[in-house]
Amino acid sequence: MCVFDPGLPVAVLVVLTATVGAAGPGGTCGRMLKTLVHGASVVAPMPPNITGQWVSSRCEVRPGPQFTARSYTFTENLDFHNYQFFYADQHCASPLYTVTSRGAIILRQVSWLTRGGTEADYWLEDVSVTSHSQEVASYLSARVNATCPGFIASDHQWHNDVPYEVLSRQADRDCAVGLDFVLHELQLLRVEQRQDSRDGHVTEELFLGDIHTDRTQRLLYRPTSYQPPLVNVQLSYSNCSVCKVVQDADDRRPPVLPTRGESSLHLDGEWVSMRCEVRPEALFLTRHLSFYPANRTWEGWYAHYSDPSCRHATFSIHASGSFTRGARSALVEGGTEYIFQVTHMRVTPEDSDTTSLLNVFHGQGCGDGGTWQIGLEQDVTSTNGCVALGIALPHIEYELFKMERDMQDRLLLYIGQRPSDGTSPKNPAQRPTSYQTPLLQCLPSVDRHTPDIRTNMNDVNISRRCTFNSALVFLSCVVLYGFR
Ligand SMILES: *[C@@H]1O[C@H](CO)[C@@H](O)[C@H](O)[C@H]1NC(C)=O
Ligand SMILES: *[C@@H]1O[C@H](CO)[C@@H](O)[C@H](O)[C@H]1NC(C)=O
Ligand SMILES: *[C@@H]1O[C@H](CO)[C@@H](O)[C@H](O)[C@H]1NC(C)=O
Ligand SMILES: *[C@@H]1O[C@H](CO)[C@@H](O)[C@H](O)[C@H]1NC(C)=O
Ligand SMILES: *[C@@H]1O[C@H](CO)[C@@H](O)[C@H](O)[C@H]1NC(C)=O
């Protein structure tokens, strides 16, 4: 089991005995985390009722990267009509192509692997693709024709803004593999109803299965965690302008989302989880991170739980180390590269199962073996981490960060998605190309004079180069930065 995320060990909500410093579980941010995760009244009905239209509330980044927006409609008898819109840019402002799919879904059973989720099976009736430029049409038709030889006669060029059917159950034809198209995300779902404590407004979100971080595994992978949620259009906030744009779009009129000024990345301050987070391998956790750019150090509290509401604590971790800021990502537009090191760690078992697990490793590999007790913290730095929890120290991770403002103008921090195979990004080639659930800034930097490298976006000349000859199926667009 790999439980580790260096930016992301554990917030210790339960350990009220923990030292209360300027930063940490006992402070303002600890309380805010508690309110965000446990204070909101969240209901997850089982089985979920997914009838209705669900849309993206922001431009999403999939591993690759691929920039997408989704609009999914389910009827009462669980037929679906889905649009996936793909873009060349991080704002979802320049559409490349749209995949339209129709089919049906059957809810199976409660997921044993991902508690709180429902497993489902789906089948496709038909899938079509609409390109939004002639260049993309030529590229995609060549890909589809290559995997289904003779599918497109030589005198039948694809044109832009015309839908072409690549899969038809009735005609017994399946050339969707040429687009690397699957909807395995429909195999795991969860609906959350959330009531705002201030105005009583109820929103509904649909969580669908995660996308494997390795593109070559995508066609086979059965999801174990979730993507960013889709919002129910009937219940969304009236001020979700992105929802409106996506809701009214279709394959001939793909949504063009508003481009927003980029938030310059300044990590200083404290950041907390906005909800009980789910990771592959059925891990539930909350995070609370502090960054100190002045001396390039950081620390994090990671609280792990056994249930999807983050109520039953299993163990918590306090980790700390150093970090280095790198360049803007040339691969993932809007991202900035970092290198994180974890050098120190303390572990607190919070239930009897974890305590026995830690005590099994007598005398070696995880603190003072045999002496672990519930609620008692041990430093595991001297044992180079904790074998039982799959944590080795010192530990280095190649990271990708992004910062954004939400609808309420709060700062959000996106940290790279962990590899779906449970490993960690130990070398630059494994650096993430997509993100986890964002963290919310709960305390701005104390010291506003902290020297932080800020880029004035007016000084940067951004251009984009899309390649159509990649070995992978996707169009890939690389951002080029020119500094004046
Ligand atoms: C599911 O939700 C839809 C739309 O909100 C509603 O019309 C329908 O009655 C619900 N179905 C069940 C079984 O609750
Ligand atoms: C599709 O492939 C066939 C050969 O399998 C070829 O004859 C035809 O010209 C191709 N069509 C296009 C539009 O490239
Ligand atoms: C780095 O700075 C923070 C905040 O000023 C401080 O709490 C921390 O102890 C410092 N760490 C090191 C290793 O100097
Ligand atoms: C949108 O609506 C929510 C709920 O009423 C509110 O908290 C938020 O501040 C609003 N955002 C904007 C940008 O008006
Ligand atoms: C931006 O960079 C591109 C490519 O390097 C160049 O062609 C263009 O003239 C530049 N634009 C400005 C405003 O500097």
Chain segment 387-423, per-residue pLDDT in tens: 878 788 888 999 999 998 887 788 899 999 988 887 8
Residue scoring higher pLDDT (423 or 80): 80
Residue 254 lies in a domain: no
Q: What is the pLDDT of residues 44-71, one digit of tens each?
A: 898 999 999 999 999 999 998 899 999 9
Residues 74 and 221 in one domain: yes
Reference 55, options 197, 250, 273; nearest CA is 250
Residues 54 and 192 in one domain: yes
Q: How confident is the model at residue 218 (pLDDT cuts 50, 70, 90)?
A: confident
Reference 26, options 14, 37, 38, 36; nearest CA is 14
Atom of ligand 2 nearest to the CA of 158: 13
Residue 256 lies in a domain: no
Question: Angle at the Cα of 278 (from 70 to 190), degrees rounded to 5?
Answer: 50
Residue 270 lies in a domain: no
Residues 330 and 446 in one domain: yes
Q: How many CA atoms lie within 13 A of 389 on its CB side?
A: 32
**Contact between 277 and 227 (Cβ < 8 Å):** no
Residues 344 and 430 in one domain: yes
Residues 13 and 115 in one domain: no
Residue scoring higher pLDDT (148 or 480): 148
Between CA 225 and CA 218 the distance in angstroms is: 14
Residues with CB under 6 A from ligand 4: 199, 237, 239, 407-408
Q: Whose CA is nearest to atom 9 of ligand 4?
A: 408
Residue 260 lies in a domain: no
pLDDT at 29: 86
Between CA 39 and CA 441 the distance in angstroms is: 18
Reference 139, options 154, 160, 155, 153; nearest CA is 160
Residues 370 and 304 in one domain: yes
Mean pLDDT calculated for residue range 85-93: 91
pLDDT at 464: 59
Atom of ligand 3 nearest to the CA of 23: 7
Please report, rounded to a whole number, the percentage of residues in the chain having pLDDT higher than 70.
Answer: 84
Residue 259 lies in a domain: no
Domain that holds residue 297: 2-40+275-477
Reference 404, options 264, 258, 241, 255; nearest CA is 264
Residues 209 and 303 in one domain: no
Residue 7 lies in a domain: yes
pLDDT at 23: 60
Residue 264 lies in a domain: no
pLDDT at 54: 97
Rg (Cα) of the chain, in Å, rounded? 23
pLDDT at 362: 66
Q: How would you classify the pairing of strands 476-483 and 283-292?
A: unpaired
Q: Is a pLDDT exceeding 70 seen at residue 217?
A: yes
Residue 267 lies in a domain: no
Residues 25 and 61 in one domain: no
pLDDT at 12: 26
What is the three-class DSSP state of 145? helix
Residues 33 and 49 in one domain: no
Q: How many domains does the chain contain in total?
A: 2
pLDDT at 20: 34
- pTM of the predicted structure, to 2 decimals: 0.85
Mutate to test the pocket of ligand 4, among 203, 239, 240 (most ligand atoms within 8 A of CB): 239
Q: Is a pLDDT exceeding 80 seen at residue 9?
A: no
What is the three-class DSSP state of 176? helix
Residues 21 and 65 in one domain: no
Mutate to test the pocket of ligand 1, among 49, 54, 193 (most ligand atoms within 8 A of CB): 49
pLDDT at 432: 94
CA dist list (Å): 326 to 400, 428, 434: 9, 11, 17
Which amino acid is present at 176? Answer: A
pLDDT at 186: 97
Q: Is a pLDDT exceeding 70 seen at residue 22?
A: no
Between CA 426 and CA 405 the distance in angstroms is: 29
Residues 9 and 21 in one domain: yes
CA dist list (Å): 360 to 74, 339, 350, 368, 372: 49, 33, 16, 11, 10
Residues 420 and 326 in one domain: yes
Between CA 116 and CA 191 the distance in angstroms is: 9
Mean pLDDT calculated for residue range 478-484: 50
Residues with CB under 6 A from ligand 3: 292, 294-295, 297
**Contact between 377 and 344 (Cβ < 8 Å):** no
- Count of C-beta atoms within a 10 Å radius of residue 197: 11
